[in-house]
Amino acid sequence: MSNLLIKIKKLSFLSLPLCFLSFVLLDFSFQYFYGFVGETDLFAWQPLWFTLFWSLFLTALISLLPRLLRRIVMLVLQIFFSVLVLVHAGMYSVFGNFFSFASLNFAGDGAAFFSWSYIHIRKLLIVCVLIALLLMIAAAFLAPRYEKGKKWWIFRIGAGVVAVGCAFGINCIHRSFALPEDSIYYGSTYGNTIEETYADFTNTKICLPLTGLYQYTFRNFCVSFGIGLPSINSIELDGFYKDRADAISGDNEMTGAFADKNLIMIMLESIDTFLLREEYMPNLWALQQESIQFENHYSPLFLPAATFNTEVMTLTGIIPPSHGFNGSGYIRNAFPLSLPNLFKNAGYTAQTFHTSNAHIYNRGKIHENFGMEAYHNWEDMGMEVMERDTEMLNGYDQMVSDDPFFTYIITYSGHGPYTEELGLIGDRYYDQAKAAVESTGIASNNADTMEQYIRAVSHAMETDAFIGGLMEKLEADGHIDDTVLVIYTDHYGKYLTDEDFIKEVKGVGEDNPEDLYKTPFMIYAKDMDPQVVEKYTSSIDIVSTLVNLFDLDADRKYYVGDDAFGEAGGMVMLPDYSWFNADYTTVQAASVTDKEVLKMAADWKKRINMSMNTMIYDYFKSW
């Protein structure tokens, strides 16, 4: 045993090199397997040097610690980053984006809808993570006990110099991304420079491969919590909104078209355009034919909590901040121009109906702060099976009134996963869905994908049955004559785990990537002739449009979107600042040289950022 200990002691010099190698291997292997996601070459100098400097920096700092603490820190750091790598991989397989600390605001609520069927991680990546972890265990095991003396002090000074030098190197690479002071950022991701992407640091798909694991983690943490970001003040926001007054649509022929009518606003869970077919959803499809259809409508996702993302935008007209904002702000901040508050000011009741309990996303308190008088969950509506939308009709008498009412409904049955886990929804219409899918000729060579698609259709059929039942009740009691229905979707059908199949059934190709985010949006009123609106709209335009249609008392300059029937607007911008309208798509925008078009894109980017800052600053608190 003593001979073995002597041999091990002789290998103690390998401890720090193994520690360094473990950090490098973990980062490099992740970049190797997921480098295809971004636009950065595997051996590009910025991520390579970030990886080397950070690995050496962490190793140098660790080397300064006492032996026991050194071992603990080695293992804790490597376990943390190993888990983080797997989380990045898992997040990408589900959402198409990497992890951001900003998403922690919604992690607990998102866990309520988690399913292992969403997660797909490369087995070789898992092997590399395990090897890196084993290397760090070996480094910790071989860690020597320092004997104080002259050599020990020289070593500590040398390690300190290395740490300082690495920090300097990291800062130099960070500064190499700095934008020139006179630069104009036009906001088209497809035309962005590396510097512009790094400055925003909101596009996780590009930023992680661009910087490597350790720099991404550090900078993303800072950006997510607003550390070191430029502050905003009321004077800047005052100036922005003063200028914006000249850029919004004025009154038009649709102003006040629905004044004094009731409103039932329905946000559909995951009902994508490929599900809204006569074969799958005959009730909603028939209603769409009698409605005002918005043919080019999109649901951009600024938050990882996709449903809540659209919920906030379509109730407040403000874009939820993707970073630098604590989720408690939705409960604390003032929202005087939210739809519930505006309708209440006009003499309406305002209530929310959703099967989930009030603590999910803290909806109960948030909707109360938005101006809702009550939040009704599945128990309040007398539902026996909370997953089935049709059972919300048990609460119909609470949804309508002889007095003016604004009723906000969020459906549930379209939610994933599209597996047997949600058999309470998917089994009910499974045979009918399978026959309907076969009648369309839509097919996939992947049996699992096809099974998910059939179940997605069966989920949609449950939602469609709710729509049909709701219309029957409105017809029966006469409320259909004085009630407007606004129906839109929270996000594209992302719970189908095969995104290539989603793109195939939606007709999304290399020339129209933005159409992945195209979703249904319609407005129905019995006395309104059906029409098709070709103007480009998105979730951020819905509040302004309803304020105009119902002639509500609000200054529309404070909304980030614009009236769908007005002369302004008509542009859609995604969270990565890619943009498109009737004249340009995101692909075409890459080659745009027209200064007016580029200036327009820059103005829209500023509009989005100022809208987020409005919520971060709590701009309306003094109203």
178-201 tens-digit pLDDT:
755 444 333 333 345 677 778 778
- The pLDDT tens digits for 421-477 are 889 999 999 999 999 999 999 999 999 999 999 999 999 999 999 999 999 999 999
What is the rounded average pLDDT of the residues 354-364?
Answer: 90
User: Of the ranges 197-206, 210-219, 447-456, which one carries the lowest mean pLDDT score?
Assistant: 197-206
pLDDT at 106 over 70: no
pLDDT of the residue at 4: 56
What is the domain partition of the chain in residue ranges? 11-224, 251-622
pLDDT at 352 over 60: yes
Q: What is the CATH number of domain 251-622?
A: 3.40.720.10
Residue 91 pLDDT class (50, 70, 90 cuts): confident
Neighbours of 364 (CB within 10 A): 21
Note the helical H segments in 328-374.
Answer: 329-332, 339-345, 363-370
pLDDT of the residue at 184: 38
pLDDT of the residue at 100: 87
**C-alpha to C-alpha distance for 587 and 261, rounded to whole angstroms:** 42
- The pLDDT tens digits for 35-72 are 888 778 888 899 999 999 999 999 999 999 999 999 99
- Owner of token pair 């084993």: 134
589: three-class secondary structure by DSSP: helix
pLDDT of the residue at 183: 41
In terms of Cα–Cα distance, which of 497, 505, 541 is closest to 521? 541
pLDDT of the residue at 188: 38
Between 586 and 470, residue with greater pLDDT: 470
Buried b (16+ CB within 10 A) or exposed e, 80-104: ebbebbbebbbbbebbebbbbebbe
**C-alpha to C-alpha distance for 159 and 58, rounded to whole angstroms:** 10
Question: Do the Cβ atoms of 464 and 420 come closer than 8 Å?
Answer: no
Residue 596 pLDDT class (50, 70, 90 cuts): confident
| Residues paired with residue 581 on neighbouring β-strands, in sequence order | 571
pLDDT at 518 over 70: yes
pLDDT at 332 over 70: yes
What is the rounded average pLDDT of the residues 390-400?
Answer: 98
pLDDT at 6 over 80: no
User: Of the ranges 513-527, 564-578, 590-604, which one carries the lowest mean pLDDT score?
Assistant: 590-604
Q: For the chain, what is the radius of gyration of the CA atoms?
A: 27
Residue 12 pLDDT class (50, 70, 90 cuts): confident
pLDDT mean across residues, the chain: 89
pLDDT of the residue at 266: 98
Residue 306 pLDDT class (50, 70, 90 cuts): confident
pLDDT of the residue at 185: 38
Distances (CA, A) of 120 to 95, 378, 422, 491: 11, 33, 20, 21
pTM of the entire predicted model:
0.82
